[in-house]
Amino acid sequence: MNSLDIDLEAFCSWLCLHEHDVVGYPGTFFRTPLSVWLSEVSGQTYGVDGKLYGRASYDSCWAAVAPMG
């Protein structure tokens, strides 16, 4: 998945479906709403840091964090 694959409308629809759920926390890499959504739709763990996002690397400490769901 790359930046061209992000569908803003799909993400907004997902947020509306989870309107009453906690779908993430600010200031975290793997528990923001965008990272939870990316992880859910891709089936892989994604992290978000500001304007950057990417799949967790298995050779880093990020790989130990599993997506919510």
Q: Does the residue 49 lie in any domain?
A: yes
Q: Does the residue 17 lie in any domain?
A: yes
pLDDT tens track for 30-59: 888 888 999 999 888 888 888 888 888 754
Question: How many other CB atoms are there within 10 angstroms of residue 22's CB atom?
Answer: 10
**Are the C-beta atoms of 55 and 46 separated by less than 8 Å?**
yes
Tokens of 9: 């409308």
* pLDDT for position 13: 95
Q: Does the residue 60 lie in any domain?
A: yes
Q: Does the residue 18 lie in any domain?
A: yes
In which region does residue 7 sit, left (phi positive, over 0), alpha (psi from -120 to 50) or beta (all else)? Answer: beta
What number is the average pLDDT over the span 6-15?
90
30-35-39-41 Cα dihedral, nearest 10 degrees: 170
Count of structural domains within the chain: 1
Give residue 57's domain range.
3-64
Q: Does the residue 69 lie in any domain?
A: no
* pLDDT for position 64: 43
